[in-house]
């Protein structure tokens, strides 16, 4: 490390035996395995503090040159949620009726999705995730951002895990294109919408598609 790099001691890692490590790893994987993408929400409110802590977790993600290019807008205001729903449904109607190739619609058939997105108003929180395509200094000059997609993807993964851990259901929603989020939420031109994360409690009697997850051997090799 160059002599002028300012460092601090690494915070002490938890003192664990390998058995404890295995047990913790198993518990975490088992808990995440209970996560399901939910499209049917109860209107039950969720305190802002829950969302804040989950966003704190997201903000710990590693990022290119530590530029932390993620930006989040957490929306609970019913009027803003309604505007988002209207704009998202307009894009989705275009998608389902015109833009989507037959092959894509076939791939979606098992999920039972359609252009109607009532959850965008029912769920207590919509978290719009953006990344900075470039930075803007005070004079308006563009600054390079490194690995912004990877960085925001990792932060979003942590956010989904944190919300699940907090006992909430989520939906990673990607109406396409998502430029309307910049307009409705008043975000600057250097920010690109990445996805819209819906968060809340599942509706009573909520059902989800009967999907299977790949067994480890199908997606992992140890060498
Ligand atoms: N954005 C649309 C379509 C859609 C696309 C994919 I890929 C999905 O995994 C699910 C849905 C919608 O939200 O309905």
Question: Please, which pLDDT band fits residue 50 given cuts at 50, 70 and 90?
Answer: very high
| CA 174 to centroid of ligand 1, rounded, Å | 6
Question: pTM value?
Answer: 0.96
The mean pLDDT of 3-14, rounded to a whole number, is 89
Q: Is 67 in the pocket of ligand 1 (CB under 6 A)?
A: no
pLDDT at 9: 96
pLDDT surpassing 80 at residue 157: yes
The CA 214 to ligand 1 mean position distance, Å, reads: 20
CA of 171 to the centre of ligand 1 (A): 11
C-alpha 108 to ligand 1 mean position (Å) = 7
| pLDDT band, residue 14 (cuts 50/70/90) | confident
| For residues 171-192, average pLDDT | 96
Confidence check: pLDDT of 5 > 90? no
Residue 4 has pLDDT above 90, yes or no: no
Does any ligand 1 atom lie closer than 6 A to the CB of residue 107? no
Task: Give the per-residue pLDDT at 61.
Answer: 98
Q: Say if residue 2's pLDDT is above 80.
A: no
> Does 95 have pLDDT greater than 90?
yes
Is there a contact between 146 and 64 (Cβ–Cβ < 8 Å)? yes
pLDDT 10s digits, 105-150: 999 998 889 999 999 999 999 999 999 999 998 998 999 999 999 9
Compute, in angstroms, the gap from residue 134 CA to the centroid of ligand 1.
27
Please name the residue whose Cα sits nearest to atom 6 of ligand 1: 108
Check pLDDT > 90 for residue 51: yes
Neighbour order of strands in the sheet with 191-200: 70-75, 125-132, 191-200, 169-173
Q: Stretch 22-34: mean pLDDT, rounded?
A: 98
Residues in contact with 60: Cβ distance below 8 Å, sequence separation at least 6, in sequence order: 158
Burial of 47 (0-12, 13-18, 19+ CB in 10 A): exposed
Q: Is 115 exposed, middle or buried (0-12, 13-18, 19+ CB in 10 A)?
A: middle
Beta carbon of 132 within 6 Å of any ligand 1 atom: no
Contacts of 181 (CB under 8 A, 6+ apart): 73, 84, 87, 128, 130, 187, 193, 196
Among protein residues, the one whose CA lies closest to atom 2 of ligand 1: 175
């Amino acid at each position: 490390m160059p002599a002028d790099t300012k460092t601090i001691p690494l915070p002490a890692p938890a003192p664990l035996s390998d058995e404890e490590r295995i047990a913790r790893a198993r518990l975490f994987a088992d808990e995440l395995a209970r996560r399901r993408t939910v499209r049917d929400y109860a209107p039950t409110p969720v305190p802002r503090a829950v969302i804040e802590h989950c966003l704190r977790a997201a903000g710990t993600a590693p990022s290119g040159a530590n530029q932390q290019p993620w930006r989040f807008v957490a929306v609970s205001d019913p009027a803003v949620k309604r505007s988002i729903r209207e704009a998202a449904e307009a894009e989705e109607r275009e998608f389902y009726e015109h833009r989507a190739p037959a092959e894509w619609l076939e791939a979606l058939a098992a999920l039972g999705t359609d252009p109607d997105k009532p959850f965008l108003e029912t769920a207590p929180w919509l978290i719009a995730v953006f990344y900075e395509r470039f930075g803007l200094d005070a004079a308006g000059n563009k600054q390079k951002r490194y690995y912004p997609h990877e960085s925001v993807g990792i932060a979003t993964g942590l956010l989904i895990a944190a919300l699940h851990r907090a006992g909430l259901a989520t939906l990673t929603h990607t109406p396409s294109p998502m430029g309307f989020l910049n307009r409705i939420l008043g975000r600057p031109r250097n920010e690109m919408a990445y996805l819209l994360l819906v968060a809340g409690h599942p509706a009573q009697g909520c059902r989800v598609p009967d999907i299977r997850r790949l067994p480890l051997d199908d997606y992992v090799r140890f060498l």
